[in-house]
Amino acid sequence: GVAAIAAEAMHWAGMPEWLEAALALAAVAACGLSTYKKGWIALRNGNLNINALMSIAVTGALALGQWPEAAMVMVLFTIAELIEAKSLDRARNAIGSLMKLTPETATVQQPDGSWKETEARSVSLNSVVRVKPGERIALDGTVVRGRTAINQAPITGESLPVDKGEGDPVFAGTVNGSGGFEYRVTAAAGNTTLARIIHAVEEAQGAKAPTQRFVDRFAQIYTPVVFAIAVAVAVLPPLIAGESWQEWIYKALVMLVIACPCALVISTPVTIVSGLTAAARRGILIKGGVYLEEGRKLKWLALDKTGTLTHGKPVQTDAIIYTGVAEDEGRSLAVSLAGYSDHPVSQAVSAASDGIQRYEVENFEALPGRGVRGVINGQTYSLGNLRLAEETVRCPEAVRAALTGLETGGKTVIMLCDTHQVLGLFAVADTVKESSREAISQLHSLGVKTLMLTGDNAHTAQAIAGQVGIDEARGDQLPEDKLRAVETFTAQGTTGMVGDGINDAPALARADIGFAMGAMGTDTAIETADVALMDDDLRKIPAFVRLSRQTYNILVQNIVMAIGIKAVFLALTIAGMGTMWMAVFADVGASLLVVANGLRLLRK
């Protein structure tokens, strides 16, 4: 840079030309040898890339005796290349820096019960790790002792700390709050959720998005065409009209510098990588630029019910006790019987037992497909479905009506009976996540229609769809039915599928964009999907659609800016007002503008 500026000063001061030339050649040699090397390799392979164009332009300027301009062109081009490389690194490193979130050591319980500081990478599965208040968690695991609140923002994008107790999952790289706790390791250091996120995003960055592929193809055609035009500009006016060779060769060289597609080629990878990184920071793991771009076209979104729209854990919603028994007594009988069963519905009834007395159950009997039966205080009671009740007692019309009403509302009902009559009804339902309602509302405002596909019965499907605001619901769906439904809707436009189970995997794979619930979802669903929502919050999907649209808008802006700036300076050159200095500034300026515009996606 200093040599190039000195060469320019010598020129203006009227110093000897050999001194000017020596400084210019020193500047070109100091920063341009790698450009010449790459340019020569490109020309030898018949490829007119950026380095080849720049090598030809600088060599031509030196041959014409334009010493200061040749030097400054090479210096500015090298600076522009450095800025572009640093900018792309910044976008890539934003996700790579997540790796630094994981501590190198963990406090691990030894066989004799003592605790020892151990390297995280050497901690084995099922080891028990202690975490102090304020510490970062080194490995994925499940809490076995203690309660705390954990900042999970690096993994799930949640802004508020999440309460954790026994049985709850914890993730490597997250920050413990004020409570100490112990957890059992469920994933080795190289297989934690955080490590998988980084690996998947790195792979995604390597895959080119449609716009990036288009730009690369465009540059392959555009560069030779511009080179041919430059040759014509250099040769035809002197040959046909007897114009000055030096003047027109200089104009052709200026055109070559202006035409370098640096800004155009750099604009797409910076924007796509920034978009992928911005999504990962929000807890949205996108497995390729193609899905980031496709998200803006989403027309239909199919959703599984259990664990996706709902919490996936049934809870007791209603308890009706009839006159044959006291209110508290009826609840105690139901909770006592349910406590002996491992069925999810019974467990939901058993869990709703705050302040309720539990009885000892004798001769307990599980009746597959019907319910349970047992003896309490010398009396036989049963707790199960309508089929079991009808085997024992007669069900009055009032009870049947109440049963139908609850089932129509999407609830599963079990009946408490003695040997003579129905004593009570207990309704259990998988409750809807509040975030699901907001997500569906936001999707509708973005013009995306919604479809629910569930294995539950049609009554439950319609009830949940009504609560959430889903456009269309289909019940009794087997995995192959979900697949067929998604195939039907993909014919109408870009269709996404959201699921969390193995039974959703075929539909996830067939959809244009598959979304997996990353926290609760099975490994099969997460591996099959194109996008993983790391905290199972459906509001991440409208956020993904908005990010996709913003990314596409910035891509279009960058392409228009890159080509527009080139066109303006090309017109100035043809009009005789363009210089090589202006050409370089146009190239560098356009590159900096598109890079800065692409990096806007990284702003919070």
Using CA atoms, how far apart are residues 218 and 498, in angstroms rounded to an integer? Answer: 35
Say if residue 485's pLDDT is above 80.
Answer: yes
CB 500 within 8 A of CB 304: yes
What six digits make up the tokens of 462?
């319609």
Question: What residues contact 372, with CB distance under 8 A and at least 6 apart?
Answer: 337, 338, 340, 341, 343, 346, 364, 365, 366, 382, 383, 384
Per residue in 52-65, pLDDT tens?
A: 877 887 888 788 78
Give the number of other CB atoms < 10 A from CB of residue 110: 11
Q: How far is CA 361 from the centre of its chain?
A: 50
Say if residue 380's pLDDT is above 60.
Answer: yes
Query: Which one from 89, 168, 304, 418 is the annotated catalytic residue?
Result: 304
User: What angle do helix axes 262-281 and 540-574 make, rounded to 10 degrees?
Assistant: 170
The residue with greater pLDDT, 383 or 536, is: 383
The residue with greater pLDDT, 245 or 207, is: 245
Q: How far is CA 339 from the centre of its chain?
A: 41
pLDDT at res. 182: 95
Q: What percent of the chain has pLDDT over 70?
A: 88
- Which pLDDT band, with edges at 50, 70 and 90, does 11 fall under? confident
- Which pLDDT band, with edges at 50, 70 and 90, does 522 fall under? very low
Q: What is the average per-residue pLDDT within 372-383? A: 93
pLDDT at res. 155: 65
Using CA atoms, how far apart are residues 117 and 74, in angstroms rounded to an integer? Answer: 54
Say if residue 49's pLDDT is above 80.
Answer: no
The residue with greater pLDDT, 86 or 21, is: 21
Q: What is the average per-residue pLDDT within 143-164? A: 76
First to last CA, the chain: 36
pLDDT at res. 156: 57
pLDDT at res. 154: 62
- Which pLDDT band, with edges at 50, 70 and 90, does 27 fall under? very high
CB 279 within 8 A of CB 198: no
The residue assigned the tokens 């009504």 is 466
Where would I find the beta strands (DSSP E) of 322-438? 362-367, 371-376, 379-384, 412-417, 422-432
Q: What percent of the chain has pLDDT over 90?
A: 28
Using CA atoms, how far apart are residues 163 and 145, in angstroms rounded to an integer? Answer: 13
Per residue in 257-301, pLDDT tens?
A: 777 776 777 778 788 888 888 888 888 888 878 889 889 999 999
What is the value of pTM for the model shown? 0.65
Q: What is the average per-residue pLDDT within 174-180? A: 86
Say if residue 157's pLDDT is above 70.
Answer: no
The residue assigned the tokens 């009570």 is 424
Using CA atoms, how far apart are residues 304 and 106, in angstroms rounded to an integer? Answer: 38
Q: What are phi and psi of 341, to 5 degrees?
A: -105, 150
pLDDT at res. 431: 79
pLDDT at res. 197: 61
User: What angle do helix axes 580-599 and 540-574 make, rounded to 10 degrees?
Assistant: 170
pLDDT at res. 521: 47
Using CA atoms, how far apart are residues 229 and 439, in angstroms rounded to an integer? Answer: 53
For every residue of 207-218, DSSP letters joined together read SPPHHHHHHHHH
Catalytic residue flag (residue 112): no
Q: What are phi and psi of 553, to 5 degrees?
A: -60, -40
- Which pLDDT band, with edges at 50, 70 and 90, does 10 fall under? confident
Per residue in 185-194, pLDDT tens?
A: 998 888 877 7
- Which pLDDT band, with edges at 50, 70 and 90, does 87 fall under? low
pLDDT at res. 604: 65
pLDDT at res. 55: 84
pLDDT at res. 343: 75
- Which pLDDT band, with edges at 50, 70 and 90, does 542 fall under? very high
Average pLDDT score over the chain: 83
pLDDT at res. 198: 64
